[in-house]
Amino acid sequence: MIGFSTTTAFRLVRRLAAAGQNTPSLYFLMCNISDIGAIEEDLGGRLPMDQFETAVSKAGAPTVTLIVLDHWKPQVLSVLDRNIVLFTRSGTLLLLATPEIGERALAAAPNLRNRLTDILRMEPDKALQGLRT
């Protein structure tokens, strides 16, 4: 496995705020499969794939969209790779995956890989641990 900088949801949100809402960006976030649920909660939840097109096509305020790649889906990755400019046009796109799926995705999606703002290893935010329901 490739080693990436480690961060938490709180640090990532601060980083996004510092960059500004009008800065389109794409972050690939990797974590252990057992931590995906906690990190989703820390970041505010996932967007169901059937609502993704509606979210990215809305004009107006920039958004932050979280897509969880918890299964290897070559078709989804292919669509993301071919249309990555359109997906990041409306704001920040966060892709959350296990390291295994993340590394496969990076190898299979050159357009996505070339547009990445950063690749980070995510850990659940220990400060929020007692607040999760």
pLDDT block averages, 10 residues each, the chain of length 133? 82 86 86 91 70 58 81 91 85 92 94 94 79 57
Nearest C-alpha neighbor of 122 from the set 108, 102, 92: 102
Q: Map residue 55 onto helix, strand or coil.
A: helix
Q: How many CA atoms lie within 13 A of 59 on its CB side?
A: 0
Fold of 5-125: Rossmann fold (3.40.50)
pLDDT of residue 70: 87
Quote the strand ranges of 61-102, DSSP E.
63-69, 91-97
**All structural domains of the chain with their residue ranges:** 5-125
d(CA 79, CA 73): 10
CA dihedral over 22, 91, 94, 26, signed as positive or negative = negative
pLDDT of residue 112: 94
Instruction: Return the residue matching tokens 């496995």.
Output: 1
End-to-end CA distance of the chain: 32
Burial class (CB in 10 A: 0-12, 13-18, 19+), 80: buried
